[in-house]
Amino acid sequence: MAEALGKTLAGLLSRISIPRISARGKALVYTGLAIVLAVVFMAIAAPLLTPYDPTRRAGPGYQPPSWEHPFGTNNLGHDMWSRTVYGARTILIVVGLAIAISMAIGVPLGLVSGYYGGKLDRALSMVMDSIYAFPSLVLAITLAVVLGPSLFNAAIAIAVVYVPTYFRMVRGQVLSIKEELFIEVARALGIPTREIIFKHILPHLLPTIMVVFSLSAADAVLTEAALSYMGLSVQPPTPDWGYDLYKGKGFVLSGYWWLIFFPGLMITLLATGFALIGEGLGEQFRRE
């Protein structure tokens, strides 16, 4: 099973044309990658980077940043540095899960819908377009409310929002690729449709999928943060940037800036990282 999967993946990868990216594009991709990888590193190495348990009192409350607590402490005396580092885990898990789900649904649906066309295609497109046109944050909020606040449910709520993004992109590309000569040849040779779709069309989509992946990941980071800002994601005391920022909101007037600055900065940084990757990769498409 694993071997077969590996072979399929290797087969797919060998078919991707290596994108030609401009110098500016490269700079963007590398900057973005550096940010995202730094956050991933934080998440993985969290226990090594933090001296305190993020959910336990580590000192007096409301301490401004110091050597002892580089990001200060919150009202409960939690060490904000530890909460920030561990918070990377939460957001990466939710976003990763969400994007995986929406890709797993959106990409195959787009392939089939675009390739076969017909009534099913029209119906699917209409539904997807309607969802796409709707304010994604409000949709995610609604779903998260219905499903109940938890890490997994937040991921599902976010996933639903991005299915149309993948569907529309894949469908659009399939529509143009399926008219090309090599697909006609494949059909004439009697290659099974499934093989045409997954082995001959899908590989051409991978570069675009990579761009959309990065951009939707950037967006999903902001959506997760928004859900958790409203208490609709992971429940406290689990560290989560959006929730910590929400808690910090109560201390604006007291001027406790560190409770606001750090969690929000991390959210923005991570989103920016993904966006830069997507934009850098996207350069290539605009040049051609």
Partner 1 sequence: MGILRYIAVRTALIIPTVLILYTLVFIVLRILPGDPVLAVLGTKNIPPEQLEQIRHNLGLDKPYIVQYFEYLWNVLHGDFGTSMIISGRSITVDLLERLPATIELAVAGMLVSLLIGVSTGFFAAVKRDTKLDTGLRVFGSVTYTLFIPWLGLMFQLVFAVWLGWLPASGRIDPDIGLVTVTGFYVLDALITGNVVALRSALSHMILPALTLGLVLSGPYTRLVRSNLIKALESNYVFAYRARGVRERRILLHAFRNALIPVVTYAGLQFALLLGGAVLTESTFDWPGIGTYLVEKVSYRDYPAIQAVVIVFAFFVGVISLVVDLIYALLDPRIRY
Q: Does 248 bind partner 1 (CB under 8 A)?
A: yes
Residue closer to partner 1 (CB basis): 111 or 277:
277
Residue closer to partner 1 (CB basis): 202 or 267:
267
- With CB under 8 A as the contact rule, which of the stretches 49-57, 176-184, 192-200, 271-279 interacts with partner 1? 271-279
Which residues ranging from 122 to 161 are in contact with partner 1 (CB under 8 A)? 126-127, 129-131, 133-139, 141-143, 145-148
Which residues ranging from 212 to 231 are in contact with partner 1 (CB under 8 A)? 218, 222, 225-226, 229-231
Closest separation in Å from C-beta 111 to partner 1: 22
> For 24, how many CA atoms within 13 A lie in the half-sphere containing its CB?
6
Q: Does 279 bind partner 1 (CB under 8 A)?
A: yes
Residues of the shown chain interacting with partner 1 in the complex, contacts defined by CB under 8 A: 126-127, 129-131, 133-139, 141-143, 145-148, 218, 222, 225-226, 229-232, 245-246, 248-249, 252-253, 255, 257, 260-261, 263-265, 267-268, 271-272, 274-276, 279
